[in-house]
């Protein structure tokens, strides 16, 4: 059960938290962490793979695989030590100095996301929100100060923001994305019903709600 070494593209050897973790696994690790923290019966001391699987809708084997790449190791009689697990997940996912994000478009969707992040994530904080509507700029919504989009470049640079969340109407999404990238953001989470393009150096995740809806409708019929 030694810590497994992974071979990186370059040929170099990288261990544990240093290795690049596949997308889906990153998402699940984030989920495991939240599930454990939010457990209604208080955070347990230890957890079995099949319990985590049941809580997250996966399989026990998948959970074990995911945890394997972190180098966490469980006991056959007690499962995984939750404290250790959380520490290893944090080590893998979090930037030690923390990361800053901003959100553009303080409509219903933007407000919903701001409220999700109001209970401050220690290592990932939404530092600013931007809108064009003077009715919201200047206000503090869900604990986040809203400013005019005119100040976007300035604020992104000053606050060291590396992640941008786009919750504007579809026809403005690409323009906002371009400005965010120009200002130095390297990750984009786009909720507009239209994919955005960015240079290869920027990671883009499009959350297409309409497409998800149609996907669910499609598979809802095939069961």
Partner DNA sequence: ACATGTGAAGTTATTCACAGCC
Partner DNA sequence: GGCTGTGAATAACTTCACATGT
Q: Please state whether beta strands 203-206 and 187-190 pair in parallel, antiparallel, or not at all (unpaired).
A: parallel
User: Judged by CB under 8 A, does residue 71 bind its own copies?
Assistant: no
Q: Binding string, 135-174, against its own copies, x = CB under 8 A?
A: ---------------------------xx-x----xx---
* Residue 119 φ/ψ, nearest 5 degrees: -65, 105
User: Judged by CB under 8 A, does residue 117 bind its own copies?
Assistant: yes
User: Judged by CB under 7 A, does residue 59 bind DNA?
Assistant: yes
5, 22, 203, 216: residue in contact with DNA (rule CB under 7 A): 22
User: Judged by CB under 8 A, does residue 203 bind its own copies?
Assistant: yes
Instruction: Return d(Cα 112, Cα 107) in angstroms, integer.
Output: 9
- Please choose which of its own copies, DNA, none residue 111 contacts, taking the beta carbon within 5 to 8 angstroms, the exact cut-off set by kind: its own copies
62, 73, 91, 99: residue in contact with its own copies (rule CB under 8 A): 99
Instruction: Return d(Cα 178, Cα 198) in angstroms, integer.
Output: 7
Q: What is the 3-state secondary structure (H, E, C) of 46-98?
A: EECHHHHHHHHCCCHHHHHHHHHHHCCCCECCCEEEHHHHHHHHHHHHCCCCC
Instruction: Return d(Cα 122, Cα 76) in angstroms, integer.
Output: 32
6, 16, 17, 25: residue in contact with DNA (rule CB under 7 A): 25
**In angstroms, what is the minimal distance from the CB of 59 to its own copies?**
13
User: Judged by CB under 7 A, does residue 120 bind DNA?
Assistant: no
Would you give the distance in Å from CA 196 to the centre of its chain? Answer: 18
Q: Name the residue among 95, 83, 86, 92 with its Cα closest to residue 33.
A: 86
> Where does this chain bind its own copies (CB under 8 A)?
20-21, 23, 26-28, 30-31, 34-35, 38, 40, 54-57, 93, 95, 99, 101, 107-109, 111-113, 115-117, 124, 162-163, 165, 170-171, 185-189, 193-197, 201-223
């Amino acid at each position: 059960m030694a810590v497994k070494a992974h071979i990186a593209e370059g040929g170099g050897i990288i261990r544990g938290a240093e290795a690049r973790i596949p997308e889906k696994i990153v998402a699940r690790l984030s989920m495991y962490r939240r599930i454990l923290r939010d457990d209604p019966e208080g955070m347990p001391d230890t957890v079995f793979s099949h319990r985590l699987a049941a809580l997250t809708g996966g399989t026990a084997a998948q959970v074990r695989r995911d945890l394997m790449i972190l180098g966490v190791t469980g006991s056959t009689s007690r499962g995984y030590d939750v404290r250790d697990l959380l520490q290893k997940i944090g080590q893998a996912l979090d930037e030690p100095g923390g990361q800053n994000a901003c959100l553009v478009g303080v409509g219903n969707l933007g407000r919903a996301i701001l409220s999700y992040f109001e209970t401050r994530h220690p290592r990932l904080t939404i530092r600013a929100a931007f809108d064009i509507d003077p009715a919201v700029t200047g206000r503090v919504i869900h604990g986040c100060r809203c400013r005019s989009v005119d100040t976007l470049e300035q604020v992104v640079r000053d606050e060291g923001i590396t992640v941008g969340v786009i919750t504007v109407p579809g026809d403005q999404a690409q323009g906002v994305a371009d400005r965010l990238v120009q200002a130095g953001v390297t990750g984009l989470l786009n909720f507009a019903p239209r994919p955005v393009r960015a240079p290869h150096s920027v990671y883009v995740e499009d959350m297409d709600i309409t497409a998800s809806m149609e996907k669910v409708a499609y598979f809802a019929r095939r069961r």
